[in-house]
Homo-oligomer: A and B are copies of this chain.
Amino acid sequence: MFSIFPSARLRPSPFFEATVTDGVTSFTTYNHMLMPTGFGKPEEEYWRIINGVSMWDVAVERQVQLKGPDAGKLAQILSPRDLSKCAVGQGKYVALCNHHGVLINDPILLKLADDLYWFSIADSNIWFWAQAVAAERGLNVEISEPDVSPLAVQGPKAEAVIASMFGDWVKELKYFWFKETEIEGIPVAVARSGWSKQGGFEIYLMDGSKGTQLWNMVKEAGKPWDIGPGNPNACERVESGLLSFGGDTDGQTNPYEVRMGKYVDLDVPDDVVGIQALRKIKADGPKRHQLGVRLEGSEPIMTAFHWFDIMQGNQKIGGMTNIVWSWRLKQNIGFALVSVDAKPGDAVQVIRDGKPVNGTLCELPFI
């Protein structure tokens, strides 16, 4: 691991100072911002998410705000998923695609009002994308990056923490639904969401000057449940089969290849970007699919800044897009993006540092 040299091209989050105080040791960059990736005790941080409650600086999940009379129209044009029944206060997971049906982001769409939407995005520039499509189609909508920064509270005890802060109404929130509120005068939206399968909430901070204050409020409220710092957890998300756009995808990946077909509605209007291409991809059948890989061996393998080739004999059938040591399964696991000819149960060889490691393909999720 190497150091990150400071530059204003990469921005800190409103929670940056608080995470430094709490002992952050490493970062990644995401949407031109720094995101914590560890606090020095990886196994403890993992079990905290599985058994307890963990708080995460996920301000890098930036919002692409669509505001104006054509906001809803643009949201639908950009999303190959039927949004006609999306209610104010509801969120939906969507597969943004380009005109060729290639996945370009997998955000949560939040409908705040009939003329106000947010795409809470993964790591790619959807501001430029939305601006280009809106301007070229002459839509009356303003696209911006508002002062909004999510803080995630994840784990089986997250609901108790959030209810103690905001009230029991949060227990009634359905998955991906949210409500705007405030706490000690700080404007926030509280959503039942988060990049884990252990349950939890995201608090969308709507005043970046209050990051440390909100962080410390959550930390204090969570004490009875032994809350501690964490971050989107590589091990948990792989065990749970959660996609990382840009990590598990490449420049040709379509939603059908990465288990997102159920979020594509082929009967949306013809003016939705990419829908014609997606209909054809669906009709022809995708060429690749996403599976799991279980590797032999009992030593943890470090992931890398690249995919690992997956071979069957002398034939490359695809790539292993991540590797983590699973503390629950006690083996190295990861995702495969491979030819549809490769099936769960198949033996494969994963090339690491030039040498093959034996593995077996399987269905996702692992747990």
Contact = CB atoms under 8 A, between A and B. Distances in A.
B135 A99 contact: yes
A133 B131 contact: no
Contact of A305 (B10, B124, B145): B10
Number of copies: 2
A7 B1 CA distance: 11
A303 interface: yes
A34 interface: yes
A24 interface: yes
Contacts of A131: 98-99
Contacts of A9: 28, 30, 123, 244, 246-247
A26 interface: yes
A169 interface: no
Interface in A142-158: 144-145
A283 interface: no
B26 A305 contact: no
A29 interface: yes
Interface in A301-324: 302-307, 321-322
Contacts of A10: 28-29, 305
Contact of A136 (B1, B25, B128, B137): B137
Interface in A97-115: 98-99, 104
Contacts of A27: 2-5
A5 B39 CA distance: 12
Interface in A244-279: 244, 246-248, 251, 273
**Which of A7, A16, A38 is the most central at the interface, judged by chain B CB atoms within 10 Å of its CB?**
A7
A52 interface: no
B28 A5 contact: yes
Contact of A26 (B2, B128, B304): B2
B8 A248 contact: yes
A8 B305 contact: yes
A129 interface: yes
A8 B247 CA distance: 5
A134 B25 CA distance: 43
A2 B25 contact: yes
Contacts of A29: 4, 10, 29
A104 to B, nearest CB: 6
A183 interface: no
**Which of A5, A28, A135 is the most central at the interface, judged by chain B CB atoms within 10 Å of its CB?**
A5
A6 B125 contact: no
Contacts of A16: 305
Q: When A and B form their complex, which 10 residue pairs have the shortest distance between CB atoms, in order from nearest?
A: A132-B132, A5-B37, A136-B136, A1-B3, A99-B135, A125-B125, A3-B26, A9-B247, A9-B246, A29-B29
16 contacts: A2-B25, A3-B26, A4-B27, A6-B304, A6-B305, A7-B305, A8-B306, A8-B321, A8-B322, A9-B123, A124-B125, A126-B128, A128-B128, A128-B129, A129-B129, A132-B133
